[in-house]
Amino acid sequence: MVTESAKHPCRVLVVAPGRKTRGGITAVVKAYEDSAFWQTWNCHWIETYRDGNSLMKVGYFLRGLIVYLFCLPQYSIVHIHLSEPTSAFRKSFFFYLAHWLRKKVILHFHAFSPESTLNGPKKRLYQNMFARADAIIVLSEYWKDQVAQCVPNTTGTIRVISNPCPEIRLSVRLPLKKSSNFILYAGTVNKRKGYVDLVEAFSLLASRYPDWNLVLAGNGEIECGRALAKILNIENRVAFLGWISDEEKEHVFRQATIFCLPSYNEGLPMALLDACAYGLPIIATPVGGIPDVFRDGKNAVLVPPGDVHFLSEKIELLIRDETLREQLGVESYLLSQNSLSVATVTQQLCMLNDDLLHGKQ
C-alpha cells in the first residue's frame, strides 16, 4: 500500500469542474487538493467547466480539453468526476481519449437522481462509459446497486468511497456566543433540495418560537422563496443569503444552531458534511447515500421527504431539547473526524490507485 508520506512515481490526472465553480464536486476535489494525497500521487487538475454564459463555458471546456491532450501521455491514471447528463456528455470526450490511449480510468459518479441519469434519456451514455471504465467510484451502497443494475458485470469495478468532510481549523471550532438561534439550510435553493418544505414547516412553529429564525444559503429560486415566506407571513423570520463566499460560509456555519436539508434526491451532499465538520445537529431525509452515513436518533434526525408536518415536529423537538442538539452535534462531528475525514477517504483512494496499477481492480 502506498502511504501519503512518500512521493509515488505514478501521476494522476484529475478531470473536474473548475476551482471557482459552485457545487459539491469542486468542494470534493479541493479537499483532495489540500491533502497529502494530492502531492503523493502527483495529481494535476484539468478544469473543464465554470459558471458563466454559454460562450464562456464552451471556451473553458475547449481550453481544458487542449491542456488535457498535452498532459494525458504523461499520466498513468485519469480520475474523471461526473454527475448529471450534461456533465457526463462533457466528460465523455476526456474519457474516450484516455481509454483509447489505454490509461487507467476512474469514473467518479456524483449524480443525485437515477431517473435523470442511469435510467434517463442518456442511459446509453452512462452504460457505455461505465462498461469501459477500469474503476467506478460511487458515494453509497444505494448508488452501487443503481449502477450495477444499469450496467451488468460492473460490480467488481465499483468502489463505495464517501465524499470527505472539510477539515476545520481548531480556531474555527472555538465556541462563540451566538447572537440568535437559527436553522440553517445550505445548497441550491430548489424544490429537489426541499426548501419549500422547510419554509412551510418553519411557518407552522414560528409563532411559538419568536427568537428563532430560518436562514437559507445558496443560489436558485430565491425570489420564489421570498414570495412563499411572505405568503406564510414569516418574511421577517426567513433570510435568503444567496451564494456565499468561503468566509461567509464559515461565519454562517459557526453561528447556526441546527442544520436542515430535507432533500428528495441526493448523492451524498457536501452541505451535510460541512454541517458535520462544524458539529451541528442535523435534520435530513433518508435518500441517496444519506442513510449509509446518518442514523436516525444516533447522529441525525431523519424524516421522510415531503412530510411537512413531521419535519416541523422534528424541528420543534430540536428547538426545545438543547441536550439532544448537543448530543447529535457531537456525533456528527465525530463522523467528520473518523469515517468521513479527508485522511480516511484519501487512504481509500490510495488503495484504489494501487489496485489499478497492480491489476487488482
The predicted pLDDT at position 361 comes to 64
Mind listing the domains of the chain with CATH numbers? 12-164+341-357 (3.40.50.2000), 170-337 (3.40.50.2000)
The answer to which of 90-94, 125-129, 173-177 has the lowest mean pLDDT is: 173-177
pLDDT of residue 179: 57
Give the per-residue pLDDT at 23: 84
| Segment 312-323, tens digit of pLDDT | 999 999 999 999
Average pLDDT over residues 223-231: 97
Lowest mean per-residue pLDDT among 40-44, 55-59, 76-80, 195-199: 55-59
What is the distance between the alpha carbons of residues 287 and 268, in angstroms, rounded to a whole number?
A: 9
Please report, rounded to a whole number, the percentage of residues in the chain having pLDDT higher than 70. Answer: 94
| pLDDT of residue 259 exceeding 80 | yes
pLDDT averaged over the chain? Answer: 91
Cut 0.85: pTM above it: yes
